[in-house]
Amino acid sequence: MYSKKEMRKAYIARLQQLDLNTRLKEEQALASRLYDQPEWFGAKVIGITLSQSFEINTAPIILHARHKGQTVVVPRTLPERKMEFVVLTESTEFSETQFGVLEPVKGEVLGPDDIDLMVVPGVAFTLSGNRLGFGGGYYDRYLSNYDGPKFAMALNTQIAEENEWPTDTFDIPMDKVINLQDAINK
């Protein structure tokens, strides 16, 4: 078994090397699987990130949701590795964080109980729902107070075997890892 840190590095390198055609095809197929989920089309409020370059591109997903009239909330990081979710509107202003992602500067904050579905980012996932994130612990902290459905989306290159990295007690498993290798699991 490798450390989380070693695995994170390896999977980020794989993501950065993925060729654009494969990536675009897989991203489109994953998005349409997401839209088929009852938890997705039943959700009034969806929590999702503004992706950075090597993550699954969330822009089309956000546009799709907003087009359907769903409310989209995106994270803003806070001190002590906490975060809150802010409603995205046409007038949302953004600033770039040290991590390299855009965050809303201000806006309406919704609490965890107001969010109907969380689409959780990550570097690698097992089909059983284990997740390796970027190492900030932001999502593990936030999701410990969130009771709704938690979905991740995994490109083929992001799918890991069980036991590639150690699981910590604070790791929060995903309810579904949307992927292109098997039918929707769990």
Ligand X SMILES: Nc1ncnc2c1ncn2[C@@H]1O[C@H](COP(=O)(O)OP(=O)(O)OP(=O)(O)O)[C@@H](O)[C@H]1O
Ligand Y SMILES: Nc1nc2c(c(=O)[nH]1)N(C=O)[C@@H](CNc1ccc(C(=O)N[C@@H](CCC(=O)O)C(=O)O)cc1)CN2
Closest distance of CB 121 from ligand Y, Å:
4
Choose between 26 and 55: whose C-beta lies nearer to ligand Y: 55
In the complex with ligand Y, the residue whose CB is nearer, 41 or 99, is 99
CA-to-CA distance for 6 and 140, rounded, in angstroms?
19
Nearer of residues 38 and 53 to ligand Y, judged by Cβ: 53
Tokens of 110: 């919704």
Lookup: tokens for 105: 């500067």
Q: Is 171 in the site for ligand Y (CB under 6 A)?
A: no
Binding positions for ligand X, 122-181, rule CB under 6 A? 132-141, 144, 168, 170-171
Using alpha carbons, list the distances in angstroms from residue 140 to 16, 55, 78, 133, 143: 24, 18, 14, 9, 5
**Nearest to 60, CA basis, from 27, 38, 33, 37:** 27
| Cα–Cα dist 4/12, whole Å | 12
Please tell me whether residue 94 binds ligand X under the rule CB under 6 A: no
Q: In degrees rounded to 5, what are phi and psi of residue 88?
A: -85, 130
149 interface partner picked from ligand Y, ligand X, none, CB below 5 to 8 A per type = none
C-alpha of 20 from chain center: 20
Per-residue CA distances from 64 to 34, 61, 70, 86 (Å): 11, 5, 9, 18
Name the binder of 141 from ligand Y, ligand X, none, CB < 5-8 A by kind.
ligand X
- Indicate which of ligand X, ligand Y, none lies near residue 140 (CB less than 5 to 8 Å, by partner kind): ligand X
Interacting residue ranges for ligand X, rule: CB under 6 A: 4, 132-141, 144, 168, 170-171
Residues in touch with ligand Y (CB under 6 A): 49-52, 55, 75, 77, 83, 98-99, 101, 121, 133-136, 138-139
